[in-house]
């Protein structure tokens, strides 16, 4: 059953908010968003941020077992305590569920996906079904209800092994090297089709290696910090020279909010830190944050892994005013503090 208290209540909890009223952050109060993947890492943070700015939010999540559903439910604790949040459990591929979830929404913030490069190589059909079919179902439901604004979470993985750095939104992305990356490129194309044919306003956001509190337990920073804390070995694929543009969750959320506020036409933006870090240097930084030395297990490179990611922020700075603010060392300290609080709970 959905958790659905007080969809039309404003921040004070009294009455229906003026739809023309705006918050200090410039976001209109009284509007309502459908956030898919709301119980996930990024989705739960985005939902909380929107609630904090006066939005009503419907969170749609399937609570699949890619990682612990109990962890995802903990992610939503703060949102569920808010009277302007409702939760619908269901699959983005199910048209009836999506139609119910989208009812009353002013915008879709589509963050749900089957995630991960390496698992997509093992289950390519599942990734295509969830990521491509699910996105199509959401777009079609939005179109039939006259909903004009749609935010799509894409990925830096669409750039593949692009030899040109930093990666610009105008770069050719016709050569993805994993099924996951291919599904994200496909999602961008489907979104463009709906903009072209039906005039839907769509913004695609290419996220660059997001980390911070609530990060998925299978991702490098979470896995490495946990294993180092426990005195266990950590896997390092290749020679440690692989580079990633690690971007703190608060900066990503700020970019998503800016995209929501200015969603119009069809646009693609990079959301990254624009400061790529080599894997060996990341491990050293985590060691400093945890204050313990890592035991490294050296393994061969993995298929589907790109050599580096590096975001060109020229366009997003100019058009959305996006500017990452969180240094890696600061973000890692915050993450380790959160991790220890979770383990102590």
More confident residue, 299 or 128: 128
Fold of 113-344: Rossmann fold (3.40.50)
Q: Please give the mean pLDDT across all residues of the chain.
A: 91
Residue-wise DSSP of 284-341: HHHHHHHTS--EEEEEPPPTT--SB--B--HHHHHHH-------HHHHHHHHHHHHHH
- pLDDT tens-digit map of 227-285: 999 999 999 988 889 999 999 999 999 999 999 999 999 999 999 999 999 999 999 99
pLDDT digits (tens, 9 = 90+) for 70-100: 999 999 999 999 999 999 999 999 999 999 9
Residues taking part in catalysis: 180
Say if residues 240 and 283 touch (Cβ distance below 8 Å): yes
Q: Give backbone dihedrals phi and psi of 293, rounded to 5 degrees, phi first.
A: -85, 145
Task: Delimit the domains of the chain by residue range.
Answer: 113-344
Cβ(113)–Cβ(153) below 8 Å: yes
Bridge partners of residue 56, in order along the sequence: 32
Cα separation, 250 vs 155, whole angstroms? 17
**Band of residue 29 on the pLDDT scale cut at 50, 70, 90:** low
Task: Give pLDDT, residue 180.
Answer: 97
């Amino acid at each position: 059953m959905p958790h659905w208290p007080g969809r039309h209540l404003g921040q004070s909890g009294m009455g229906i908010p003026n739809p023309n009223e705006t918050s200090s952050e410039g976001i209109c109060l009284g509007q309502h968003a459908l956030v898919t993947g709301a119980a996930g890492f990024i989705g739960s943070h985005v939902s909380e941020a929107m609630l904090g700015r006066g939005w009503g939010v419907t969170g749609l999540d399937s609570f699949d077992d890619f990682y612990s559903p109990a962890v995802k439910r903990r992610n939503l604790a703060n949102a569920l305590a808010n009277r302007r949040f409702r939760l619908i459990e269901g699959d983005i591929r199910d048209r009836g569920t999506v139609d119910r979830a989208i009812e009353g929404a002013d915008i879709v913030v589509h963050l749900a996906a089957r995630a991960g490069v390496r698992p997509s190589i093992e289950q390519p059909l599942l990734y295509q079904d969830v990521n491509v079919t699910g996105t199509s179902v959401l777009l079609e439901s939005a179109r039939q209800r006259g909903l004009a604004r749609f935010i799509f979470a894409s990925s830096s993985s669409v750039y593949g092994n692009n030899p040109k750095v930093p990666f610009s939104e105008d770069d050719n992305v016709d050569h993805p090297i994993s099924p996951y990356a291919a599904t994200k490129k496909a999602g961008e194309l489907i979104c463009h089709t709906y903009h072209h044919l039906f005039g839907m306003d769509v913004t695609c956001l290419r996220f660059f290696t997001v980390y911070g509190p609530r990060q998925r337990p299978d991702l490098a920073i979470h896995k490495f910090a946990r294993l180092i804390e426990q005195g266990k070995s950590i896997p390092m694929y290749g020679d440690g020279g692989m580079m990633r543009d690690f971007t703190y969750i608060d900066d990503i959320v700020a970019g998503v909010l800016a995209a929501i506020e200015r969603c119009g036409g069809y646009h693609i933006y990079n959301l990254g830190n624009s400061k790529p870090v080599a894997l060996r240097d990341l491990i050293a930084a985590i060691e400093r944050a945890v204050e313990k030395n890592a035991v490294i297990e050296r393994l061969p490179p993995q298929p589907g892994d790109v050599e580096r990611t590096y975001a060109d922020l020229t366009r997003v700075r100019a058009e959305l005013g996006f500017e990452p603010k969180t240094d890696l060392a600061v973000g890692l300290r915050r993450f380790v503090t959160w991790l220890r609080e979770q383990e102590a709970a």
